[in-house]
Structure 1
């Protein structure tokens, strides 16, 4: 069994640990900062009497609303992968409603509108650009109303509302740019995987064509000449008298043996099958993301149809993981039983919904494998997994 890891540093080594810190650091630190800042602001409003006295709602009511906002923010930010999508959308809707309510009912907490900035930034992940623009506009108006409630002058209202409006716009544009870069990286990784697959299959096809050409040349040229030589020696053996006949007979035997060796070599060259492990190595090598752990039985030999099916299915799973799962690592294992049946297992550690509907790519995997008489199962368990079995031809 050969196990090879491809990606941004070998798993478990220093490079991988540094890479994990680099990948997780910005998102985790930003999320922790937002959560901690939100908790601190809520605590100040509740426990600072000078601010609490300015609340337009009972303190316990405001505290309950803030707790609900904090719960919705935490669920949407930290538990998104574990919750149903409709519940995540409900958490976002709760944030959009509760954030301006909290700001308007605590007008003396001048720094509280930062909650609106957090919420409008989070909106970029959840709704369209036009919806984000509406949310930013409404939140900016809420900031102005909050300043007016506490008796601010027109100039102060305009200035503070403009500042928070600009903060929201800047944050939303920054996140939009980051999401666009992430999308472009995914598209590049998908194109890279597709190109590597095409290259691997083309290499296999080119080698197969070259083997067939060599086999034909051996059979048509060398085989024909050896056959003619053997016939000539057969005739000569009946016409040469005396001791020379023994040498002619020996030469005829050698020619026949050589012709048999050529035919055996031609048959071996024609029947030689692609090395599946090499094709999969070329497919996942230098893949920018995710980190791929490839395990292939080195003794596997398959016909061209099964090799193409397995390579195409693995490629589809890689592109599916890159597009949808946001996975950091992926495990691919290909084994064969004594009868020659193949077992292909692919899983990742990314996002996966238990109520997923197979798209065109997964349907294509099923059709390819079932077309060869095999079976495919899809499952969700700490990521997405595919188990395929391809019988021997």
Structure 2
């Protein structure tokens, strides 16, 4: 099961538990008793606002802004219904959400504040001093356990993210090194063919040219035929040398290696039959590496689409994710390096942050 599906199921379960917690209040009200210390409609209003804020926060691109509303409405719901003890469990949820979204200071404030609220709820239901202390202590320990679990999950996620980034960078470096090695070997073979075989065949053609002028008529036909074969063979050698020197980089296979087995985001790759030279292919590989790395680290995207196509003015890489995007784009070292690398080849890079994060890279072919 993917991480995004697990998150959706976790969110649904959390909202479901919050709805179930309201059942004792509803049942007590249906039985003709008063479950709250104030107007019942006020409790339902606070709890509805809590659920609405919680739901919007999960859907929002900037969830920390609603954390205060969630915390206040949860505390109000607990204090307005102190006799329904199970409502205090929402305080644990609030602290866990704060641990997921906010810093240590905010988490500490939420933990202490919610523990005090649990103690005040015990006071409002006429509990003893021991009841007040135990309520505050128990819910405090539950919150500590929730914070510990969230922090452990965040550490695991950060470790997985670092491993994914390192794996992407390692695969890109491996592909570039392998292609550099293959290119060097092809260049060596091309030089050997040109310097040894090519020169020898050139000398052979010249010798046969001289022999054709000096040979008698019966042997002249054989010399001319041998001279023609030598010229054809010399042409074949030159063609082979040119192909070895100008052979295109297998970009499809290299990019498949880079994006293979990424846990998140899910990469959708499409590469047309393009034949960039070695420098352009290396630039595209580095650009894909940077796009994938940014999607892992910053975008919180579920999907990343990569497309390499040929256009009239060169080879174009189009990349787009469904992440959070940004209203103001600030080029870090990676994106600035991408623009510089492509610019040195005579290409250009364009960024689009209106929906998710998009990049268009064009390199000359």
TM-aligned CA distance change 1:22 to 1:374, over 3 Å: closer
State whether residues 370 and 376 of structure 1, in contact with CA within 8 Å, keep that contact through their aligned partners in structure 2: no
Residue in 1 that maps onto 2:16: 33
Q: Flag structure 1 segments of 5+ consecutive residues without an equivalent.
A: 1-17
What is the TM-score with the length of structure 2 in the denominator?
A: 0.88
Cα separation, 1, equivalents of 2:96 and 2:262 = 31
C-alpha RMSD over aligned residues: 2.8
TM-aligned CA distance change 1:90 to 1:243, over 3 Å: closer
TM-aligned CA distance change 1:373 to 1:45, over 3 Å: farther
Residue in 2 that maps onto 1:258: 233
Cα deviation digits, residues 259-288 of structure 1 (max 9, x gap): 222122212211112122222122222333
| Number of equivalenced pairs | 364
Residue in 1 that maps onto 2:48: 67
Matches within 5 A, 1:1-393: 23-24=6-7, 26-37=9-20, 39-40=22-23, 43=26, 50-52=33-35, 54-55=36-37, 57-77=38-58, 79-81=59-61, 85=62, 88-241=63-216, 243-298=218-273, 300-337=274-311, 339=312, 341-371=314-344, 372-381=346-355, 383-390=356-363, 392=364
Cα separation, 2, equivalents of 1:325 and 1:35 = 29
Cα separation, 2, equivalents of 1:179 and 1:80 = 20
TM-aligned CA distance change 1:386 to 1:109, over 3 Å: same
Could you tell me how far 1:49 is from its partner in structure 2?
A: 5.5
Could you tell me how far 1:91 is from its partner in structure 2?
A: 1.2
TM-aligned CA distance change 1:323 to 1:34, over 3 Å: farther
Cα deviation digits, residues 301-321 of structure 1 (max 9, x gap): 111222122221122111111
What is the TM-score with the length of structure 1 in the denominator?
A: 0.82
SS class of match (2:141): helix
Cα deviation digits, residues 237-257 of structure 1 (max 9, x gap): 455556345434433333233
TM-aligned CA distance change 1:266 to 1:333, over 3 Å: same
Q: Flag structure 2 segments of 5+ consecutive residues without an equivalent.
A: none
